[in-house]
Structure 1
Amino acid sequence: MTAILAASFGLDGFRGQPPIRLRDDPLLRRQEARESNARSYPRRIPLALTEARGIYVRDSAGQLFIDCLAGAGTLALGHNHPDVVAAIRATLDSGLPLHTLDLTTPVKDAFVEELFAALPPAFARDARIQFCGPTGADGIEAAMKLARTATGRRTVVGFSGGYHGMTQGTLAIMGNLAPKRPLGGGTGDVHMLPYPYDYRCPFGLGGEAGVDAGLALLDQLLSDPESGIVTPAAVVVEVVQGEGGVVPAPLRWLQGLRRLTRAHGVPLVFDEVQTGLGRTGRLFAFEHAGIEPDVLVLSKAIGGSLPLSVVVYRAELDCWAPGAHAGTFRGNQLAMAAGMATLRRIRADRLDEHAAVLGARLTAHLRAIQVDHPCLGDVRGPGLMIGVEIVDEHRPPSRTGARPADGELARSLQRQCLERGVILELGGRHGAVVRFLPPLIVEAAEVDEIAERFRAALRAALAERASGAVPTGLAAE
């Protein structure tokens, strides 16, 4: 049966299927009854998945969906890529111990060699690597611990809109207030600064003036003996904010950030948990700015769909004691094998360049739709990391021209896309940014189909709003 189903995976099978019906599945009912109230994705994407290949997933009703969430960017090569499956099988068949803590193995050694070969040569030449617990959050925790140890300082600078994980330490440098309120904030030893969000410039300026204002503020805080902020142990930043709404930092701002942190002896930590390995059109997003970090945190795609997290940093920072950061599952051999296969395929097929071309194609489609639909306030993002900010075009704009976010319409649009077989996620302020994170292997015809389905979903969401109709939820079996 699986072979028969697999034969229909692909764009022809997707186009040829009957209209999608979101059904009440026993698996979903049991999930709702037994899983924590903290579960999130099933509330917005009520699917029970049974099979997946490439950019497609199939639910328990046999319906095919294009996956533009891809494990929040984890699945760089899509689902069950032959290279990844073969690497996992070969590791299992080899008799290699699957759990080694941080003892080395041939697979681990080969993974490190492959990763360092992908890094900019000047950075890799003098770098060290720490394997962390298998989440990006643990990687960020390790990076902050490393910087505090190396500098002897405690404070960390984060940015509004930032997302770095859900541990207590990473919540402290998160922009989103909702997860922090029940915990009493938890922002000790952290200073939050404005992120250069051009569409909603925190200084009310926008463009180059907004970049200048942000850099001037940081310069003043680091230079002024009356600023009230002691020199921090680290500055932690996403080159492109993901959960914060796909907000790319201007390249000149990144270059200025690098210049200022170096001048003041502050380690610069780049969180590339979501952007790493080709997502933005370069292997690493910081390469667009022609700069290098002091500390680089990688997860998601680095494990080839399996849990893995690493911190790569300049050797001069490597002064923490043995065991200063540990984790039982930092020796995930299957993830290293899958990650090595993923790295090799991305580099061999130049999927970073492919992402740049296909991302530009999807962006062009979305901007063409925007012309006739002013509720698409902003279309942005590099490569195959694209955000569409949904706004209320009937309300007055800010001084920089941005209209208020419309999270309600965004949620309706997400549901309408799902009913047309396209899985998308939301993010950003008020959950009003529709996010596109398809696997890097997506093809031009599939990008065109995604855009057309999005256009149809938008029309349906606008018609639903105009009629005052209330969504009825899942269809009955």
Structure 2
Amino acid sequence: MSISSVVHGGSAALGRELAGRHQALSAPYTLTRHPLLERQDARESSARSYPRRIPLALRRAHGIYVEDMEGRVFIDCLAGAGTLALGHNHPVVVDAIRQVLDDGLPLHTLDLTTPVKDRFVQDLYEILPPALAANARIQFCGPTGADAVEAALKLVKTANGRATMLAFHGAYHGMTQGALQLMGSLGPKQPLGGLQQGVQFMPYPYDYRCPFGQRGDAGVQAGLNYLHTVLTDPEGGVPAPAGIILEAVQGEGGVIPAPAAWLRGVRELSREAGVPLLLDEVQSGFGRTGKWFAFEHGDITPDVVVLSKAIGGSLPLSVVVYRQELDLWQPGAHAGTFRGNQLAMAAGSATIGLLRRENLPAHAERMGQRLMQGLRQLQGLHPQLGDVRGRGLMVGVEVIDPDAPRNRLGHPAAATAMARAIQAECLRHGLIIELGGRHGSVVRFLPPLIITEAQLDHVIEIFAVAVAAARRALQRASQPSPLAA
């Protein structure tokens, strides 16, 4: 069965309707505020984030499309921050959820097993790299990736009795207090005080803004040499760590893929030092980067893997998979009332099954190359598009100010206002994207993995129009008013 038939089979009528009504490229939207948004503003916490940048009240969705309460249709290239591997309301996911309900299976089981849970674990183990699956244990956690990160920290600290963790500049591992300690961004941590206690931050191989002022292999080797020093220098001031945690592709940090040589080097150094290596695959896992898991681009086997988002087939679920030798904690050492989400496990199995049958990781690789090729063509027209990077359908465009002075390392200035203007113009033209990275200057693309070539070309077309419109708007804003003259 082809990608096209999977996308348009089953409940395809809604998908065709929404696709046919996506006319915002020729008739841009005026984004009025629906009463639902007004009530949300009045009642929800100030901590809410997405509605501030994407002020939509949604009512229907299918595949890559969402429709808001005003009847406006958008292409969703945020996809639940990577959760919706198969897009919205995919028939295989809906059917799996309906089957659980029709069979009368318990919906809440804590960590008691069921046929649905047993099937899910088998399906997950079948896509793990054999070297990991052969000697792996699994811990079901609360329904968020952050809770799985918390569990992973407790796991390795229990196993070796150490307290310090090594994390990396630009990292994002969740917003709970323990996970927040590992975050590279200072903003969310400042109101909470001394959260960096027990965490040492290492430089990540960010080639476009290398902290050593080097690029390519030289920058990679400089980072590995620094990590080696931290792990081995008895006068370095850093205690032997309980673990090293990293993302093989940083997502919220700006879509920064780690070179394969760096991943292999970190694995070698951690093994030599006897320090567990933890890979956070919450956003990058399940085929998004062109392989089942992003760490496979480095041909390494980590000691611990943290999984969430797409693992539940769009429903809340998270797990930690780890080497059996680390399984030294006691019963109840990590728990969570909703760790037995049967609907999510059924949806997760259905998602894994379709990803395998359709070889969607390979499709994501091809579509990602197509997306980056189109975006790089736009670089020749717009010097504000400083860098295009990514793996598979996890792609980022770093927006810069080409006219501003560079810093002492030769790095260009971030253009936050331009990035925000691009995001706003994308929304007006029917495309939902998100920002991330340093100063919020990286436009991020995380479309569903079932996106077709034609749909992806339409995304590139919308983005091209949005960038040109944002440039014109900022140029007009920077010109002096005739009245002032």
Shorter-normalised TM-score: what interval? over 0.9
1:11 to partner: Cα distance: 5.7
Contact 1:206 1:400 in 2 (8 A): no
User: Per the alignment, do residues 55 and 3 of structure 1 end up closer, same or farther by CA in structure 2, a change over 3 Å counting?
Assistant: closer
Q: TM-score, normalised by structure 2?
A: 0.94
Q: Take 1:152 and 1:252, find their aligned partners in 2: how far apart are those partners?
A: 30
1:315 to partner: Cα distance: 0.4
Contact 1:199 1:400 in 2 (8 A): no
User: Per the alignment, do residues 82 and 3 of structure 1 end up closer, same or farther by CA in structure 2, a change over 3 Å counting?
Assistant: closer
Could you list the per-position Cα deviations for residues 261-306 of structure 1 after superposition, in whole angstroms to 9, with x for gaps in the alignment?
0001000000000000000000100111110110000000000000
Contact 1:72 1:437 in 2 (8 A): yes
Give percent identity, aligned residues only.
61
Could you list the per-position Cα deviations for residues 333-362 of structure 1 after superposition, in whole angstroms to 9, with x for gaps in the alignment?
000000110011011100000000000000
Matches within 5 A, 1:65-104: 65-104=74-113
Q: Take 1:436 and 1:5, find their aligned partners in 2: how far apart are those partners?
A: 24
Is structure 2 residue 194 aligned with structure 1 residue 201? Answer: no
Is structure 2 residue 165 aligned with structure 1 residue 156? Answer: yes
Read off the aligned partner of 1:69 and give its amino acid letter: L
Read off the aligned partner of 2:167 and give its amino acid letter: G
1:7 to partner: Cα distance: 4.7
Listed as ranges, the gaps of 5+ residues in structure 2 are 1-10, 480-485
Is structure 2 residue 442 aligned with structure 1 residue 429? Answer: no
Question: 1:322 — aligned with what?
Answer: 331
Correspondence for 2:119 among 98, 102, 110: 110
Is structure 2 residue 330 aligned with structure 1 residue 283? Answer: no
Contact 1:148 1:233 in 2 (8 A): yes
Could you list the per-position Cα deviations for residues 190-246 of structure 1 after superposition, in whole angstroms to 9, with x for gaps in the alignment?
111111111000111121111111000111111111111111000000100000000
1:45 to partner: Cα distance: 0.3
Q: Take 2:201 and 2:438, find their aligned partners in 1: how far apart are those partners?
A: 17
Question: 1:267 — aligned with what?
Answer: 276
Higher mean Cα deviation, 412-421 or 3-12? 3-12
Is structure 2 residue 46 aligned with structure 1 residue 53? Answer: no
Contact 2:363 2:449 in 1 (8 A): yes
Is structure 2 residue 24 aligned with structure 1 residue 31? Answer: no
Is structure 2 residue 404 aligned with structure 1 residue 395? Answer: yes
Q: CA RMSD in A?
A: 1.6
Q: Take 1:267 and 1:51, find their aligned partners in 2: how far apart are those partners?
A: 44
Correspondence for 2:310 among 301, 307, 322: 301
User: Per the alignment, do residues 465 and 250 of structure 1 end up closer, same or farther by CA in structure 2, a change over 3 Å counting?
Assistant: same
Read off the aligned partner of 1:258 and give its amino acid letter: R
Correspondence for 1:239 among 245, 248, 257: 248
User: Per the alignment, do residues 223 and 105 of structure 1 end up closer, same or farther by CA in structure 2, a change over 3 Å counting?
Assistant: same
Question: 2:140 — aligned with what?
Answer: 131
Question: 1:406 — aligned with what?
Answer: 415
Question: 2:477 — aligned with what?
Answer: 468
Question: 1:251 — aligned with what?
Answer: 260
Contact 1:136 1:273 in 2 (8 A): yes
Could you list the per-position Cα deviations for residues 396-416 of structure 1 after superposition, in whole angstroms to 9, with x for gaps in the alignment?
334665311011110011000
Q: Take 1:11 and 1:400, find their aligned partners in 2: how far apart are those partners?
A: 49
Q: Take 2:383 and 2:358, find their aligned partners in 1: how far apart are those partners?
A: 38
Correspondence for 1:167 among 160, 176, 200: 176
Question: 2:482 — aligned with what?
Answer: none
1:71 to partner: Cα distance: 0.1
Read off the aligned partner of 1:311 and give its amino acid letter: V
Q: Take 2:370 and 2:202, find their aligned partners in 1: how far apart are those partners?
A: 34
Contact 1:11 1:446 in 2 (8 A): no
Correspondence for 1:380 among 362, 378, 389: 389
Contact 1:17 1:63 in 2 (8 A): no
User: SS where residue 322 of structure 2 aligns?
Assistant: strand
Q: Take 2:243 and 2:20, find their aligned partners in 1: how far apart are those partners?
A: 46
Q: Take 1:3 and 1:193, find their aligned partners in 2: how far apart are those partners?
A: 48
Read off the aligned partner of 1:47 and give its amino acid letter: L
1:13 to partner: Cα distance: 4.6
Contact 1:387 1:433 in 2 (8 A): yes
Aligned residues: 469
Correspondence for 1:120 among 115, 129, 133: 129
User: Per the alignment, do residues 146 and 3 of structure 1 end up closer, same or farther by CA in structure 2, a change over 3 Å counting?
Assistant: closer
Higher mean Cα deviation, 180-189 or 75-84? 180-189
Q: Take 1:452 and 1:247, find their aligned partners in 2: how far apart are those partners?
A: 24
Question: 1:177 — aligned with what?
Answer: 186
1:148 to partner: Cα distance: 0.3
User: Per the alignment, do residues 454 and 29 of structure 1 end up closer, same or farther by CA in structure 2, a change over 3 Å counting?
Assistant: same
1:185 to partner: Cα distance: 3.3
1:16 to partner: Cα distance: 8.6
Could you list the per-position Cα deviations for residues 86-123 of structure 1 after superposition, in whole angstroms to 9, with x for gaps in the alignment?
00000011111100000000000000000000111121
Q: Take 2:215 and 2:407, find their aligned partners in 1: how far apart are those partners?
A: 11
User: Per the alignment, do residues 123 and 6 of structure 1 end up closer, same or farther by CA in structure 2, a change over 3 Å counting?
Assistant: closer
Is structure 2 residue 453 aligned with structure 1 residue 449? Answer: no
Contact 2:21 2:73 in 1 (8 A): no
Read off the aligned partner of 2:132 and give its amino acid letter: F
User: SS where residue 90 of structure 1 aligns?
Assistant: helix
Question: 2:425 — aligned with what?
Answer: 416
Read off the aligned partner of 1:205 and give its amino acid letter: Q
Question: 1:473 — aligned with what?
Answer: none
Correspondence for 2:150 among 141, 149, 155: 141
Read off the aligned partner of 1:105 and give its amino acid letter: T
Q: Take 2:449 and 2:233, find their aligned partners in 1: how far apart are those partners?
A: 45
Is structure 2 residue 377 aligned with structure 1 residue 361? Answer: no
Q: Take 1:469 and 1:51, find their aligned partners in 2: how far apart are those partners?
A: 39
Correspondence for 2:73 among 51, 64, 67: 64
Could you list the per-position Cα deviations for residues 420-459 of structure 1 after superposition, in whole angstroms to 9, with x for gaps in the alignment?
0000000000000000000000000111110010000000
Higher mean Cα deviation, 36-45 or 199-208? 199-208
Contact 2:27 2:429 in 1 (8 A): no
User: Per the alignment, do residues 232 and 453 of structure 1 end up closer, same or farther by CA in structure 2, a change over 3 Å counting?
Assistant: same
Contact 1:377 1:402 in 2 (8 A): no
Correspondence for 2:357 among 319, 334, 348: 348
Q: Take 1:66 and 1:203, find their aligned partners in 2: how far apart are those partners?
A: 39
Contact 2:368 2:392 in 1 (8 A): yes
Contact 2:24 2:430 in 1 (8 A): no
